Each structure stands twice: as structure tokens, then as C-alpha cells.
Amino acid sequence: MLDKVLKLLSSSHSCFHAVRNMKDELLKNGFIQIDENDFPDEIKKGQGYFLTRNLSSIIAFKVPENVSLNDLSFNICATHNDSPTFKLKPQPLIESDNLFLLEVEPYGGAIFSSWLDKCLTIAGRVQILNKTNGTVESRLLHIDEDLLDIPNVAIHLNREINHGYIYNPSTDLRPVFGMKEEGFSFSSYILKKLSLDESEYELLSHDLFLTNREKPHLLGKEKEFLTSMRLDDLSSAYCSLLSFIEASKDLKENVIPLFVSFDNEEVGSLTRQGAHSTFLKDCLENILFSLKANEKDRRNILADSFLLSVDNAHSRHPNHPELSAKTSDVKLGCGIVIKYNANQSYTSDSLSSAVIKMLCMKNSLPYQEYTNRSDMRGGSTLGNISNSEVSLLSCDIGIPQLAMHSNYELLSVKDVQDMLKLLFFYYQSKVEREEDYFRLKDCTLHHD
């Protein structure tokens, strides 16, 4: 499925395009789209479904043919589809001498320097008014052209450029858009790129972002590495989606596999489509309602369920091993990473991580363990944020990578393949828990 991951990455120009790609894959595999505002009172057993929120977050699930409310649980895999970039302001066109520039602001924690002197373009979503019937519709936009460049200041004019220069987003990071032109309208330009007549349509608003024109590539002496924009977290999101689709074809256990990809993780998830929203909770409650589960059933089912938060992890940097904890020897190509944090920015604990370790051991898959250096703060992710809305046993894992939050990131092909395998087995597994032990199919692990 590596070729499929590469193909999906190459057309993931924004979070909206990523969700469109996910929808297309689900539809091709027989899943039915449902409206969040009109969730069916009864869902068909053996049928897969999906729903979206804001066109930028998506949930898919499948109920087994032989589902029983007794001993039922969810196997949930949470990912995110947004990445650090720059967002265009509502009125982005500005003039500088005889040039047009675009006013942007940072979205998430991007490595600013990685965006300069690159061939860029614009992608995202726009809201279009149809003047004839008064309706407003959302349309995706990707200007498939070499359009923009954020130029560095020449070293002759900034002798400190290689000595820790601090980029100012308000002055240093505005992309060059074109030569100044009398009477030019950015709204008219966007309508033209959408092949819409300005006399019939009006651009009302937009969520537009800068995106790299560089395609994903395999590199290395044996083509053992994958490099691409937005690997964090689309590499894990697409592994999760493709594994979910494959695993859903033959469900053997009394488990409902559920895939979710949230927007806005990079900016804190505090949106109606983020992990801190009720999107996942609402969907779980609707599924259980449609299965005629009573209140006690619902509590028991959620108590037995598992949330796997899949968001990429830091590999030890080959040029800066001192930045990693002495006991966190995470390497590219050595397996998926289980992530820990004493303050629970990652939700993994001894119990939840043991589930994943047993799953890896049963299927002969390597795993690694990561913690931040004790004097360095790491990022947060989806598990603990989702648990603020619906409390589930949860573990944080990820594909190890280099250059996280750069314009172009790097990871190992083998780790992608291992993640695909692990998530396939995860979606089909049944975790049975009692007070002092859990069982993973025919494997039993006791704990005090």
C-alpha cells in the first residue's frame, strides 16, 4: 500500500483536500456517507459509514455483521490532517514598490526558514455566492501552478543570516505574488482560477494556505526513505485509513473499528472539528443509540474501548543526538514508536502501552519507546485532548521522522510499512480487560 500512500500525499494540498481524498477512498470501498445532522436511527450491520464536520474532519466506522451489545467495544484510531503552514489573511493583497505580495500569518509551529526560496502555491477552501439563486457553496481550490516564492535577504545584505537570524512573520515571510497591476482584484483572480464568471458569482470568504509544489519522493541509496510535505501527520493518517478499510472487509471480533482524522491539532484542537470538540463523542453516542444500546450498555461498551492516538514521533537526529533523552534511542527504520510523558501530554501508561507491545509481539513487529529529554518540553497530541470529551484507555504511538514541522519532512519506508501492518491487526483485535489482567485474543498479561 506504499504506492497508495505516496499517491494520496501528492494530492493532499490542504486539510480539506486530505479529507476529500479520504472520502474518495471510503466511497470506492463501499462506505456510505451520512449527514451528522441526520444520523440514521438504525445502521445496517455489515455496512461501513462515514461522516464529516467542516469538510476538514472525518470519522468512518463499520459495524460487524454479527455484532452483539454484550462484550462489544470500539477500536478507535485518531489522527490529524492539518500541518504547520501559513494562512492567507482575508484581504491578502499588499503592494511593495512595483510588486504584489500576499499577507500571511503562521498556522501552527512551522520551521520558518524551510519555507523560504521554495516554489509555493495556494490551496484550501473558498465560499462562493451564486448571485442567481442566493446560495453559498464551499469549493476546494488548488492552484496547480508555480505561483509564489518567499525570498531570503541576500547574505551580502544580511551578514548574520547564518548566525541565528530570527524571522519576523510580518516582514520576512510575505510571498512574492507578481508584478503590480492597476485594477487587479484578488477575489477576481480566485474566481478565474475556479473558472467562474464574476457576473454570476462572488467570493465571500476563504480558508487558503501556502503549500509546497514539491512532490513526495523516495530517496536514499536503496530508496529506503520517504520525503514529503505534511508527513506529520498525513503519513500516519493515511496508514490508519488504508488499514481501516482493509481490516473492515473481514471483521472477526465483536469490535467496531473506527477511524477519525481531526483538523486543527497543530493549533490546539479547540475548534468544533478538532479533537477537543464533541465530534467523536457525538458519533459514538449516535452509533450506540442506533444499535439500541441502553445507558448501561453504553457505559460498559465505552469502558471496554480503546483509543490509539497516532501522531508522528521524533527520531534521534543523526547530527544532534544530544537533543534526545539518553534512554530514548529512537531510530528511523526500527519500528513504530510508543510515546510517553510523565505529565500526560501523551496518554500512554504501563497498561495501554502493554496492549500495543503485545500486539507488536504477536505479529513480529518491532517497536521503540520515546520520551522527551527531562529539561525539554514536547508537543501535545490527540489522545489526552480527545479524552477530555470521552474517556477511553488510550496510547500514543507514531512513525519516527526527522525534520518535523519543516516544509519538507523525512521518514523511513519500512516504518510506514510496519505502521500499516500494526494498525490492520489493531483494528481487528479484541482487548478483553478485567480488574487485574487483560487478554489480547490468545495472549494474556496479568498486572497488579
- 435: pLDDT strictly greater than 80: no
pLDDT of 437 over the 80 cut: no
Q: What is the pLDDT of residue 167?
A: 94
Q: Is the pLDDT of residue 263 over 70?
A: yes
Residue 273 burial class via C-beta count within 10 angstroms: exposed 0-12, middle 13-18, buried 19 and up: buried
Residue 78 scores a pLDDT above 90: yes
Query: What 3-state class would DSSP assign to 442?
Result: coil
pLDDT of 285 above 70: yes
Stronger pLDDT, 281 or 383, i.e. the higher one = 281
Residue 103, pLDDT score: 97
For residue 376, is pLDDT > 70? yes
Can you tell me the mean pLDDT for 52-69?
95
Q: How confident is the model at residue 448 (pLDDT cuts 50, 70, 90)?
A: very low
Predicted pLDDT of residue 305: 93
Mean pLDDT of 291-316: 94
Reported in sequence order, the residue ranges of 63-119 that DSSP labels E, i.e. its strands, are 73-80, 85-96, 99-107
411's grid cell: 521518514
pLDDT of amino acid 444: 53
- pLDDT tens digit sequence for 176-228: 999 999 999 999 999 999 999 999 999 999 999 999 999 999 999 999 999 99
Peptide bond into 35 cis (omega under 30): no
**Which of 36, 40, 60, 39 shows the shortest CA–CA distance to 48?**
60
How far apart CA 28 and CA 13 sit, in angstroms, is 21
Q: CA–CA separation, 76 vs 61, rounded Å?
A: 9
pLDDT at 443: 53
Q: Identify which of 58, 34, 74, 22 has the alpha carbon closest to the alpha carbon of residue 293.
A: 74
| Average pLDDT of span 39-44 | 90
- Nearest C-alpha neighbor of 409 from the set 261, 247, 225, 158: 225
At residue 193, φ and ψ (nearest 5 deg) are -65, -25
166 exposure class (CB count in 10 Å sphere: 0-12, 13-18, 19+): exposed
The answer, as to whether pTM is greater than 0.85, is: yes
Mean pLDDT of all residues in 52-65: 96
Dihedral angle, C-alpha 174, 178, 180, 181, nearest 10 °: -140
Around 284, how many Cα atoms within 13 Å sit in the side-chain half-sphere?
29
Report the b/e string of 418-436 with b at 16+ CB within 10 A.
bbbbbbbbbbbbbbebeee
Give the three-class secondary structure for 440. Answer: strand
